[in-house]
Amino acid sequence: MPCEVLHLDPDAPAPEALARAAAVLRRGGLVAFPTETVYGLGADARAAPAVARIFAAKGRPATNPVIVHTADAEAARALAAAWPAVAEALARRFWPGPLTLVLPRAANVPDVVTAGGPTVALRVPAHPVAQALLRAADLPIAAPSANRSTELSPTRAEHVVRSLGNRIDMVLDAGPASGGLESTVLDVTTTPPRLLRPGLVTPAELEAIVGRVLRGDVPVLAEAPARSPGQLERHYAPHTPLELVAAPGAERVTQLTLRGLRVGWLALAPAGIMAASDGVTTRALPAEPKEYAARLYETLHRLDEAGLDRIVVDLPPSTESWLAIHDRLRRAATSSPD
Ligand code: TXA
Ligand code: MG
């Protein structure tokens, strides 16, 4: 059965709609909702069967833990067995906002949330609808991105409906998620803290608060075009084969169109824009990482719907402010598109 879609004003969400969504969560259902990063697929984090439904709906492996969202730092702290000074300093600076902290789990966090591990990932989202929902439901909400596992994260309610529409109960549609890229995940159980997933909060912003941050397993910035990401797990990927090329990718785009392929070119503005030509759909994204992030998934979703044979993406600069974008693009790339 298709899910119910409720339209909300992002700045003044109607209390009646929030009460209905809260009721769905409280009875163990699944509600997708906007955050300032991407849309999340929420369930009552205290209820193991409800969280198990998230994994079933997404086709997510049980070994991949989910983030728990709370309305404020105090509620987050209640889910952690320890609250080190770095957590306090980071929470004060970045919450509510796109930072997820990994901490030792409290006993009241179900195993399904943490994938049986000793830690729990916690985040206080800033989006007014996420905040209002957390307060209306008066629950911690477990929420991964609201997409089938390995697919592109959703930045609009339509993306959620297309990916999960028949598998969930409700979607709160409050327009596009402004940040456009997932939160930064930082493990603060170690000293120094370790970056587990680069995201909207950059390493430099974290280091301004806590000193050194380990980059961990985060893929290093690409020096050269990555046509063969190899060891990287394919994730955050469109269905259309995607390849990364040194900017500007005009030459590669031309080469592919000469072979008769319909190509979507995600170019870096202002360089590399080529006049519209047959068989090429060009989309230029701003050469500034936060603005680029805000439009990346939205643009990939559109290109993916356009029935193209190939998506060619200009590789952004190799500086650390682009780290999260490099990470997502490399995971979206197809190892051997030819
Ligand atoms: O911006 C976001 O973080 C969005 C919105 C909805 O909040 N959520 C999101 O969730 O991106 P998800 O499930 O798509 O990604 C969560 C990431 C995964 O890489 C997961 O492995 C990691 O966080 N994670 C969750 N719990 C963890 C834990 N206890 N230890 C280490 N990593 C964890
Ligand atoms: Mg995800």
The residue whose CA has the least distance to atom 29 of ligand 1 is 120
- pLDDT > 70 in the chain, percent: 91
Taking only the tens place, the pLDDT of each residue in 169-222 is: 999 999 999 999 999 999 999 999 999 999 999 999 999 999 999 986 655 554
Q: Which of 100, 134, 141, 184 to mutate to test the pocket of ligand 1 (most atoms within 8 A of CB)?
A: 100
Instruction: Output the CA torsion sign for 34, 40, 44, 49.
Output: positive
Do strands 170-173 and 4-7 pair parallel, antiparallel, or not at all (unpaired)? parallel
DSSP 184: E
Q: How confident is the model at residue 289, as a pLDDT? A: 97
For residues 90 and 176, what is the distance between their CA atoms, to the nearest angstrom? 27
Taking only the tens place, the pLDDT of each residue in 4-39 is: 999 999 999 999 999 999 999 999 999 999 999 999
State in Å: Cα 123 to ligand 1 middle: 9
Mean pLDDT in the chain? Answer: 92
Q: How confident is the model at residue 137, as a pLDDT? A: 98
Pick the ligand that lies closest to the CA of residue 183. Answer: 1
Instruction: Output the CA torsion sign for 214, 141, 179, 325.
Output: positive
State in Å: Cα 65 to ligand 1 middle: 7
Q: How confident is the model at residue 279, as a pLDDT? A: 84
Taking only the tens place, the pLDDT of each residue in 47-99 is: 999 999 999 999 999 999 999 999 999 999 999 999 999 999 999 999 999 99
Cα 105 vs. chain centroid, distance in angstroms?
Answer: 22
Q: Which of 290, 294, 293, 300 is nearest to 332 (CA)?
A: 300
Q: Give 1 or 127, the one with higher predicted confidence.
A: 127
Range with lowest mean pLDDT among 48-52, 128-132, 240-244, 247-251: 247-251
Neighbouring-strand partners of residue 105? 80
pLDDT at 269 over 90: no
Range with lowest mean pLDDT among 123-132, 265-274, 328-337: 265-274
User: What is the length of the chain?
Assistant: 338
Q: Which of 182, 186, 190 to mutate to test the pocket of ligand 1 (most atoms within 8 A of CB)?
A: 182
Mean pLDDT within 114-136? 98
Mean pLDDT within 262-287? 82
For residues 183 and 159, what is the distance between their CA atoms, to the nearest angstrom? 18
Q: How confident is the model at residue 233, as a pLDDT? A: 64
For residues 20 and 26, what is the distance between their CA atoms, to the nearest angstrom? 10
Whole-prediction pTM value? 0.94
| Structure confidence at residue 232 as a pLDDT band (50, 70, 90) | very low
